[in-house]
Structure 1
Amino acid sequence: MEWFDNFWAVYSNLVLTLGTNALLALSIYLTLSCGLLAMANGAFMGIGAYTSALLTMNAGMPFPVAIAGGMAAPMVVAFVIGKPTLRLSGVYLAMATLAFGEVVRIVVLNTESLTGGALGLNGIPQSTQWWHVALSLAVVLFALGRLRRSKAGRAFEAIKLDETAAGLMGINVDAHKMVAFVLGAAIAGLAGTLNAHLTFFIGPNEYGFDRGVEILTMTILGGINSLLGPVLGSLILTLLPELLRGFKDFRLVINGLILVVIVLFLPKGLWDPARLRRWVGMGSKA
């Protein structure tokens, strides 16, 4: 197994980043499944990362406590800001949540004594192991799969299709939106916690507008009609910079072009079960 040891020594961070990015894509999948175009997941990731890092570095807390704190902090923040922002919809909600992300970045920059400001936090304990990422991804996929088939999941789908009709059917639209928003924040915070304790360093610019667009691109690229879609999208966009290292300065341009192409030609993403069934049916007829 020497080849595997060599491979893991070189690419372990990349492999584990695939898992954390999959969690991020699933976090925004949850809000999109409820018809919410919320772009705050990058900020929630940052809140989780900084909270967990401060718990381990300053308070000496064990890693499980840091994980719990990294998930709880963005959940609380999401609940607080969700009250006013979830009354908005569409592009207005996207603008409001993007503005919130910028507020978080400015707060981090101006609390230098606590967060390190523009210099970020360095020397975070490398507590994240491969099984932390694998177990987290498996648990989130299992939980979202159960949620998708539950009464709440069907309510999410109804709200996404027609919010007014869902309300007339007796669905508590505001409560279900809040649940999707808060749970999405918890998953993003989990990804931030695992990533922070993997890379040793975090800085405020890692969780700004660029990160929010990247997370959305992953999910739209893969498709939101299945849990495998966001995972596939995150896999492609995480590996793409490695495959195109010479074009790293144009990473966001490439992400934007991919998003435009997908929206125009594959509006339901790469992984669309209905389209795959049609192709299989056409193949069997042939």
Structure 2
Amino acid sequence: MDFLQQYGFLIATMIQQGLLGLSLYAPLMAGQLSLASPGFYALGGYLAAVMLTNPAFEGWRSALGYGIYPLTWILAALACGLLGVVVGVPALRLRGIYLALATIALVEILRVLALNLSITGGAVGLFGIPQAFGFVDRWQYLWLFLPLLILTLLFFRQLSKSRTGRAFRAIREDELAADAMGVPPTRYKVLAFVIGAVLAGIVGSMSAPFLNTWNAKQGTFDASIAYLAYVLIGGSRSMWGPLVGGALLSALPELLRSLADWRLVINGLVLVVASLYLPQGIVGSLSPKPKPPKRPTPPPVSEGPSGPPYTSETL
């Protein structure tokens, strides 16, 4: 119990950041570089924070009791999924850096809206968000983040084996070839985008009580780069990569806190070294390399009934 009292908050944060890395991994399954996860994360958190603190929802809180918390998760998932469809249909016609710029623009639009709306608390944000289910210690949020992580990993595992997962991989490898084979790229790219948006929104709605405060700093361009680093450092070809990258990069500054300002320097060096020497990410570098396929040996030529086989040399 003393271990959880001391390190429980850090462990919960590592799982939380790993889940956010997985929200970025979802569109990458279909080859789409989307940096919109911080926007959906902030939106989910704002929905939960408003419902848990605004006097207009006092009747809901009194009637539902602790049931208000699962309701915020569901509403955050629905809102982020709907916004993902609205934004994804036009934006996912773009590719590469243009798609990344479009999703960054979405993050900035949501941030500016949060800064200027009174219901979100403006630049100050929302404070005094009640702890989920009456939790007393932050490590108790492991009971929320761990089941969500397990369900997410099981979902991605089944997704990768399904027809949809094969369509994602086909689009990632060659979109034109996939389209020629009857795989509609736009439909599957929007689906991958929505999966990441829903996951980020649910994590945001769980994180608002976890952090006890919520403001526009939760969804910024800096957060987009941080989530992208989780995927690049951990590895973008496996669901374990973003999880490992998010856990490592969120824990490293805390583990090196005794080094004061040098911990940020070391954190930056880890990013540079990993980018140079681990281009496939940590998980990709540790995975066994696939063996090249063996060429089939030609069958032996048998002699005919009256002597050697007939060849051009006998002409």
Query: Structure 1 length normalisation: TM-score?
Result: 0.89
Q: Counterpart in 1 of 2:86?
A: 80
C-alpha change, 1:267 and 1:26, in structure 2 (3 Å) is same
Instruction: Give the alignment partner of residue 105 of structure 1, picking from 100, 105, 111.
Output: 111
The code of the aligned residue for 1:42 comes to P
Computing the radius of gyration from Cα coordinates, the structure with the larger value is 2
Q: Cα deviations across residues 114-160 of structure 1 (Å, max 9, x unaligned)?
A: 00111111011110732111111100110111001111101111101
Alignment partner of 1:67 is 2:73: yes
Residue 57 (structure 1) shift: 2.2
Q: RMSD between aligned alpha carbons?
A: 2.1
C-alpha distance in 2 between matches for 1:255 and 1:216: 15
The code of the aligned residue for 2:8 comes to S
Q: Counterpart in 2 of 1:282?
A: none
Matched residue pairs, number? 273
Q: Counterpart in 1 of 2:126?
A: 121
C-alpha change, 1:256 and 1:33, in structure 2 (3 Å) is farther
CA contact (8 A) 2:14 2:248 kept: no
C-alpha distance in 2 between matches for 1:102 and 1:70: 19
C-alpha change, 1:169 and 1:249, in structure 2 (3 Å) is farther
C-alpha distance in 2 between matches for 1:250 and 1:8: 24
Residue 276 (structure 1) shift: 3.0
Query: Structure 2 length normalisation: TM-score?
Result: 0.81
CA contact (8 A) 1:221 1:258 kept: no
Mark the runs of 5 or more structure 1 residues left unpaired by the alignment. 280-286
Q: Show the 5 A alignment for 1:25-104.
A: 25-58=21-54, 59=57, 60=61, 62-104=68-110
The code of the aligned residue for 1:266 comes to L
C-alpha distance in 1 between matches for 2:87 and 2:186: 13
The code of the aligned residue for 2:284 comes to D
The code of the aligned residue for 2:92 comes to L
C-alpha distance in 2 between matches for 1:209 and 1:67: 24
Q: Show the 5 A alignment for 1:149-164.
A: 149-164=161-176
Residue 243 (structure 1) shift: 2.1
SS at match of 1:277: coil
CA contact (8 A) 1:25 1:215 kept: yes
Mark the runs of 5 or more structure 2 residues left unpaired by the alignment. 134-140, 291-315
Q: Counterpart in 1 of 2:207?
A: 195
SS at match of 2:100: helix
SS at match of 1:22: helix
Q: Counterpart in 1 of 2:225?
A: 213
CA contact (8 A) 1:214 1:255 kept: no
CA contact (8 A) 1:23 1:191 kept: yes
The code of the aligned residue for 1:276 comes to S
Flag the structure with higher helix content.
1
Q: Counterpart in 2 of 1:21?
A: 17
